[in-house]
Amino acid sequence: MILPIYIVDAFTDKVFKGNPAAVIPLNNKLDSKIMQAIASENNLSETAYVNISSVPFSIRWFTPTIEVDLCGHATLAAARVLFDSYLPENTTEILFSSRSGELKAFKKENLIYLDFPTDIPKPISGKKDIANGLGATPLEVYRGKDDYLAIFNDEKTIKDISPSFEKLSKLDSRGLIVSAPGDQVDFVSRCFFPQTGVNEDPVTGSAHTLMIPYWSKILGKSQLSATQLSSRSGSLCCELHGERVLIGGETAQYMKGEISI
């Protein structure tokens, strides 16, 4: 069996920046065990499989260890591959079906935007294990569908956090997001997912479904700029539209090849 594979750096216009994702277009169903084995072999934070045999295109995402319900950067990467190599030149919108419902990607100027469901943050108290895992005490902690969100005072604090991934891996969530107001953008973040085999994710589109409604309310604006402060870093253009969020970013294709199984 020969499968095409692309690696695209998402939320950046330069290779070796942003978040690399593998994208594998399919014309037929592929066994989940093979999907997981390929994702493990790729050893990237996410491998996206897109079945293009019918519309909407079915999309699934795998970390090196598990399948996840939603992934932003790999959806952005998949949209770039489909727009460039699999769809008519005048196509401006793609519909996906997923474990998180219907998703949309569309072109707007030089960006691709993801249309994802909003994740409303719910305040919680008494999470000393988050402070212990981060080595820093947040101002507030919220819970979303999948992740915890810890809020801090400023960008420098986010940059300086040195977490214990062993402690964070014991949290009852997909992972932990830390966020604060940015110096040059509206908000900054870092994202830790040791439970999924990814200690720190370079740029996490799905985490912004939780951060966008939070910062939109705090800052009193529906259009926001964001930076994820990983070592690779990445930039996101964010919009809140009620029950949906738009997450825009650039992409840079790094590789195109074939998998032989």
Q: Is-contact 249 235, C-beta < 8 A?
A: yes
| Choice among 46, 155, 200, 250 that is catalytic | 46
Residues in the chain: 261
Nearest to 209 by CA among 23, 91, 95, 75: 75
Tell me whether residue 46 is one of the annotated catalytic residues. Answer: yes
Q: Is-contact 78 87, C-beta < 8 A?
A: no
What's the first-to-final CA gap in the chain, in angstroms?
A: 5
Q: Which residues are catalytic?
A: 46
